[in-house]
A = this chain, B = another copy of it.
Amino acid sequence: MPTKTIGDFLIQELHAHGVRHVFGVPGDYALWFYRQLDGSKLKVINTCDEQGAGFAADAYARIRGLGVVCITYCVGGLKVANTTAQAFAEKSPVVIISGAPGVKERTRNPLLHHKVRDFHVQSKVFEQLTVASAVIDNAQTACREIRRVIAAALCQKRPVYIELPRDMLATRVTATHASTKTPEPPPVAMLQEAAAETTKMINAARRPVIIAGVELHRFGLQDELLQLVDKSNIPVATTPLGKSVISERHPRYLGVYAGGMGRAQVRRFVESSDCLILLGTFMSDINLGVFTAHLEQSRTIYATSEKTSIRYHIYEHVTLSDLMHTLVTAGLRRRRAPAFPSPTAPTAFRPVSGRPVTVKRLFQRLNTFLEDDTVVVADVGDAMFAALDMTIHGRTEFLSPAYYTSLGFAVPASIGVQLANRKLRPLVLVGDGAFQMTGMELSTAVRFGLSPIVVVLNNRGYGTERPMLDGSFNDIQQWRYSLIPELIGAGHGFEVRTEDELEAAIQASGTYADSLCVLDVHLDPNDTSPALRRLTEVLGKRVRVKK
């Protein structure tokens, strides 16, 4: 067998799993790997800051199934601790590759630059944030270790960590065919029992409903969901994190269920169902409308990537994937198309000249702007809450960190999204607070010829916090966001205060199809979406403490 360098082997493995772009910032410990990447089939996407690379890779992974960050030791790696935590929390398979001091350089623990306490600090930090990690310090095991770690990312849909001491990169290795362990299937009898019980429970129900979660997307089960729905005519809702796992124009699509945060009709329909089928749903606070959801366990089937629960008992080894595959072939009865409160179709927007823009009217207009090639990337805050009511055309064309909720995701994420699928144009919805964290990554977008439309919800601060507890700490400095294209050398900026200005800016953004467009939309600081108003009321009660 021909030998190749460890660096080239790693690149080849990533390419074989569909990776075409690597996000990061170079640094001396990673420099030679950057040179190897530069001569490879993978394209390097330099971001302004490592944080941007982390978020971009996370979004890329959500679209393509695997994302890669490559950064230097500690000063780069520790900057992506938070983005890696988000990928862990929301099941996004990202490979973190960190350059590192050479194995030989580490002898006697010298004070090399970028070292914290000792040479283990970074790998120990990433043990907390990943499902597998490897320090590639041994040529004998290098190929096996790289394959083991990448396989873990693909299997568990969570981030992994590979540390590359710089003196190992050029070491030649022979790639042997490693046996990658696939998870053990459940015992046949167990699966049969679970499938029979599930089928019986669903068939006996008068008004079952599916709540489709994000794991359906992560584990590639969206076709199965569609088959299940089409076969049985059971209506389907999603959660905030799972929004768009099914096209929101599907005739059986009910809307986003999120307890007291979602639309009232969806809530009533779901909570009064006599059979709740939860498929790959995260039972998190925000997904459940900050625990305002009432899902009666005695009527629930709940399958996740780890196990299936029916009412009060558990099938430990029956996964979401196992259950989905049996359900699409099982004897589920076909129902009559059920009556349910369909999502209201986008209504035409007639701008009133001179009228100040409100959150509600802004989203009404944006909703009519969505096309089949639009991917909505919503940052945390009212951008996300308001976006829950938008009607997404395709599958997985809504991205938002609705569980981990790290501010500053959307702009860098849009870079990952558009590189992962060049047919998509991102519509980025971002609050001004979140924008000030990572928004300058638009520089990266224009550098690589991308064309997001960025709507900055400019309400002069952390709008989601004001209803909980307000103070000057929720204010931020006012920026002229529309100047950013001029600053970074490409794109078009718009100042929007009134409905006619909004209309003009949106139409222009449609026309400038290949350019960055930045809309600075001025909003009243106290104007919020109805969803946020309901949510923050609940959150506010929770954080209130007596002095």
Partner-B contacts on A (CB < 8 A): 5, 26-29, 31-32, 34-35, 37-38, 44, 46, 48-49, 51, 74-75, 78-79, 81-82, 85-86, 88-89, 110-117, 121, 124-125, 128-129, 166-167, 169-170, 282-287, 403-408, 436-438, 440, 443-444, 446-447, 462, 465, 468-469, 471-480, 483-484, 486-489, 539, 543-547
Cβ of A545: which chain B residues have Cβ within 8 Å of it?
32, 166-167, 169-170
List chain B residues, Cβ under 8 A from A5.
547
Is there an interface contact between A128 and B116, defined as CB atoms closer than 8 Å?
yes
B476 close to A483 (CB less than 8 A): no
* Chain B residue contacts of A468, Cβ below 8 A: 28, 31
Q: Do the beta carbons of B446 and A26 come within 8 Å of each other?
A: no
How far is B407's CA from A475's CA once the two chains are assembled, in angstroms? 28
Asked, given contacts A82-B75, A121-B128, whether A32 binds B488 with beta carbons under 8 Å apart, the answer is no
Across the interface, do A88 and B116 meet the contact criterion of CB distance under 8 Å?
Answer: yes
Contact B111 A117 (CB under 8 A): no
Residues of chain B lying within 8 A (CB to CB) of residue A75: 82, 85-86, 404-407
Whether A49 contacts B79 in the complex (CB less than 8 A), given A117-B88, A284-B112, comes out as: no
Q: CA–CA, A113 to B381, complex, Å?
A: 13
Q: Is the CB of A111 within 8 A of B403?
A: yes
Could you write out 17 A-B pairs with CB less than 8 Å apart?
A5-B547, A26-B465, A32-B543, A38-B471, A48-B436, A49-B436, A74-B404, A75-B404, A75-B407, A85-B121, A114-B405, A114-B406, A117-B129, A125-B125, A170-B547, A479-B488, A483-B486
Distance (Å) between the CB of A70 and the closest chain B CB? 10
- Asked whether, in the complex, the Cβ of B88 is within 8 Å of the Cβ of A78, the reply is no
| Cβ–Cβ < 8 Å partners of A51 in chain B | 49, 51, 79
Complex contacts, A444 vs chain B, CB 8 Å: 477
Tell me how far the C-beta of A281 lies from the nearest C-beta in chain B, rounded to whole angstroms: 10
A440 surroundings in chain B (CB, below 8 A): 436, 440
A534 to chain B, nearest CB (A): 16
Q: Are A480 and B486 in contact (CB under 8 A)?
A: yes
Question: Which of B117, B282, B484 is A128 in contact with, Cβ under 8 Å?
Answer: B117
Report B-chain residues with C-beta under 8 Å of the C-beta of A282. Answer: 111
Q: Nearest Cβ distance between residue A388 and chain B, in whole angstroms?
A: 15
Q: What's the minimum C-beta distance from A133 to chain B, rounded to whole angstroms? A: 14
Q: Find A480's partner among B284, B438, B487, B544 (CB 8 Å cutoff).
A: B487
B473 lies within 8 A of A489 (CB):
no
B contact residues around A79 at 8 Å (CB): 51, 81-82
Chain B residues near A82 (CB-CB < 8 A) = 74-75, 78-79, 81
Which residues of the partner chain B approach A116 to less than 8 Å between Cβ atoms? Answer: 85, 88-89, 128-129, 404
Lowest 5 CB-CB distances: which A-B pairs, in order? A111-B284, A78-B82, A48-B436, A75-B406, A81-B81
Chain B residues closer than 8 Å to A78, beta-carbon distance: 81-82, 85, 129
